[in-house]
Structure 1
C-alpha cells in the first residue's frame, strides 16, 4: 500500500537499491542477470541488446489492488525460454517485465530483498533456487566467493573461467513470445460495449479468459463509466499487442489504464 517513492527510499536506506536506482527500477539489473542465465542455460552467448526490458515505474497502486482482487501478485520477472515455431525452428526469448503471477505460484512468495530462480526442465520438472539478492553481507559474500574461485583456479593452473558456449540458437524478438495479457480499460457504460470489445479480441485471434467489470461515477461530472479488467488466454505477443492497439481505437474506450503480462496460469 505504500507509494512508489516511499518504498524506493526505504529500499535505498536499507542498501537494496542503488543511490541512482535506474538499473533497479527500470529492470536493467535484471536484464543483465537474464542475459547471463540465458547464456548458461542455452549454451549461446546473449548480450543486453538481446533482452527485451521493461521496468516497474509504470505499475500503479490500482494495478496492484486489481491484481490482488483477481488472485494475482505483480513481480518483476526475467524470463528466458526456448521456443519452437511451426516449422520446427528454435530460438530463445529473453525478456524482463512486470508480470502477474497467481498467488499460489512459488515465485509469488518471493518478497523483500530475496531473489529466486525458477527452472522448468524437460526431464527434471520444476526446480527453484532461493536466497538473498541484495544487501551488504550477501553481496560481499558473492564477491568474495568469486575471488576465492579465481584464486583457486590460478593456483591449480586451471582455466580462469569456464567456457559454456557450445552452440548458437538465435535470440528472438519480444513479438515471438507466447504469453497472456492483463488489460485494464476505462469504458463508456452503455449497452453493447462488452460485445464490441469481445468481437475485436476474436478478430485478432485472442481469447478472453476472465473479464471483470466495476461501475464508477465521476464526482464532478456525475457521468458513469465502467472499469474493465481482462485476462486473456495465451497468444503470441504480436497478436496481443495488435489487439491492444485496436482496442485503443474504439470510440467507447475512454483509456487503456494498464497492460501487463501474465505467467504461471
Structure 2
C-alpha cells in the first residue's frame, strides 16, 4: 500500500528584495506581533524561522491553517520588513537536482535560468520549461566552491526520462541527476558543532565538537581520545538503555558447587603448585 502524502506543516515566503541577515528578525517578539495581527483570522502561528536562502518560514499551530497563510501573511511581513513577499510554491513531482554544475566567476554566478536552458539544449530536450526553471541550491554569502547543485523544474515526462538516464551532460561532461526532496521544516542540527540552524556542510567552526563529552575532537574519536570524560549529552530513555550485567566476582566458584546464602567463615591456602585448599 502507498503511504498517503503528508500535509505541509509550514509555508515559505520569499522577500522580493534581499533582507540582510542582521535584519532577519525572528523569535518570540515576532511571533507575538504576528499573532496579534492574525487574531481576527482565528488562527495563530506556533513558530517562524529564516531559511539559509533568506526565506521566511511560518508554522501555524494546526496544519489545516497552512493554506490560509498565503492570503494573509505577505501583507503582515511587508509591513514589518518594508519589503514585499511572495509565497513560494513548487510541485515536488516535477523537480530534480543536477549536481556539480559550474557556478561561473566568484560574485557573478551563472543565471540559473540560463543554466537550465543550456542543459535542455545540450541534451536535446525540447519540453517547455516554466518561467523560473532553475535555482542554485547554495548560499552566495557562504558557498566557497566553484560548483553547486541546480534544482531544475521539468514536466513529469521529461523528469521520468532524465531520471531513467541518471545524468545530464553539460559541455561534454555528465552530471548526476536525482529527484528533489523538499527540506524538512524542522531546524537543521550541525553534527560538527551541534548547533541548530545549519548542517555540517555550512559549519564555520574550525574544529569539531564531540557529541558525547563536548570536547574538541570528532565524535567518532571519543572512545580513543577521551573515553573517561564525563558525558554532557541528554541521557537515553530507560527503555533504550542496555542493561549492564553485574560484575562477576574476582574468582569463579569451582564447578559443581552451589552458592549458599549462609555466611561461613573460611580460610584458604594456596600451595606453590597453585592448588587452593579451603579450611572451614
Please indicate the TM-score interval, normalised by the length of the shorter structure.
under 0.3
Q: Which has the higher contact order (CA 8 A, sep 6+)?
A: 1
Which one has a larger percent strand, Structure 1 or Structure 2? 1
TM-score, structure 2 normalization = 0.24
Which one has a larger percent helix, Structure 1 or Structure 2? 1
TM-score, structure 1 normalization = 0.25
Structure whose alpha-carbon radius of gyration is higher: 2
